[in-house]
Amino acid sequence: MAEQVSVPRHIAIVMDGNGRWASRRFMPRIAGHKQGVDTLKRIVRACPERGIEALTVFAFSSENWNRPAEEVSGLMDILAMALSREVPKLQRDGVRLRFVGARENLSVRVRRGLEEAEAATASNTELTLNVCFNYGGRWDIASAAARLAATGEPITEQSLSGALSLAHCADPDLLIRTGNEMRLSNFLLWQAAYSELYFSELLWPDFDEAALDVALLEYGRRERRFGKTSDQLSDPAA
Ligand code: IPE
Ligand code: IPE
Ligand code: MG
């Protein structure tokens, strides 16, 4: 009998290392971000083939506003350009795009781009692609709590989970960070409570389908105990 390998239904990725990828080639950092979009396109195509139902990527953090103005405006331009080019292809491939993050301080141009892309892909079911843009885990938890408090609903783990910006997805099974940094950088603080963590030394523009498969293989070897003992997992009656 073939060995049953478990596949994560929801993967989250901190796409880190674009700047270093460009600097090593004596190119401006923004060239690394452009290359990073190509990597994302490949990984998005690879997910449904592997049985992955949801992909959540960290594209711009609440703290990334503190970068040089030129890099921030370059990132906004790349987002706007990627949306106008890629939405028809996502549509063809059945990918539902959702943006996760604060929208208030985005420009009207960017905000309209996000809204149009979400509306155009709203009925797609092949893969849900959550793009965390202007996102921070602390922002997410604080705004969910504020919304509950405003309605007077009691704050419980369940109500808070339901008020978070990723309430439409189960928690990520696997969280990958590229770029050889071992930290969360304010990504999915609540939802990653029991995600398997996987760190890749590859810079995001160098990450590819083969690297994804290595991460999936490693995930398949992990034992997710959720607080139980190993014995309980092999014999539920134990
Ligand atoms: C990640 O790559 C993309 C964003 C944060 C927007 P970086 O730009 O952080 O690349 P490094 O970490 O400087 O190499
Ligand atoms: C995290 O990467 C944010 C994104 C990938 C969008 P950073 O490069 O901003 O994280 P730090 O600053 O190294 O922690
Ligand atoms: Mg970085």
pTM score of the predicted model:
0.97
Q: Please confirm, yes or no, whether 16 is among the known catalytic residues.
A: yes
Query: Is the CB of residue 186 below 6 angstroms from any atom belonging to ligand 2?
Result: no
Closest approach atom of ligand 2 to CA 58:
6
Does 185 contact ligand 2 (Cβ within 6 A)?
Answer: yes
Which atom of ligand 2 is least distant from the CA of 15? 5
How far apart, in whole angstroms, are the C-alpha atoms of residue 100 and residue 108? Answer: 16
pLDDT at residue number 238:
74
**202, 231 Cβ separation under 8 angstroms:** no
Give the contacts of 199 (CB within 8 A, at least 6 positions apart).
176, 177, 180, 181, 182
Q: Which residues line ligand 1 (CB under 6 A)?
A: 15-20, 60, 64, 75, 179
The ranges assigned to domains in the chain are: 10-222
- Residues of the chain with pLDDT below 50 are 1-2
Give the ligand at the shortest distance from the Cα of 183: 2
Say if ligand 2 is within 6 A of residue 12 CB: no
Nearest CA to ligand 1 atom 1: 16
- With CA atoms as reference, report the closest residue to 179 among 211, 152, 209, 153: 211
Cα 56 to Cα 1: distance, rounded to the nearest angstrom: 33
Span from the CA of 69 to the centroid of ligand 3 (angstroms)? 16
User: Which residues does 83 contact at the CB level (< 8 Å), separation at least 6?
Assistant: 113, 114, 116, 117
As beta bridge partners, residue 12 has: 56, 175
> What local confidence, expressed as pLDDT, does residue 237 receive?
83
Q: What radius of gyration do the chain's Cα atoms show? A: 19
pLDDT digits (tens, 9 = 90+) for 156-211: 999 999 999 999 999 999 999 999 999 999 999 999 999 999 999 999 999 999 99
- Ligand 1 probe mutation, 18, 35, 178, most atoms within 8 A of CB: 18
Q: Which CATH number describes the domain made up of 10-222?
A: 3.40.1180.10
Point out the ligand nearest to the CA of residue 34: 1
DSSP code for 204: G
CA of 223 relative to ligand 1 center, distance in Å: 31
Q: Which residues pair with 134 in a beta bridge?
A: none
Ligand with the closest atom to the CA of 20: 1
Conformational region of residue 65, where left means phi above 0, alpha means psi within -120 to 50, and beta covers everything else: alpha
Question: 18, 38, 64, 105: which one is catalytic?
Answer: 64
Alpha carbon of 37 to ligand 3 centroid (Å): 15
- In this predicted structure, what is the pLDDT of residue 36? 98
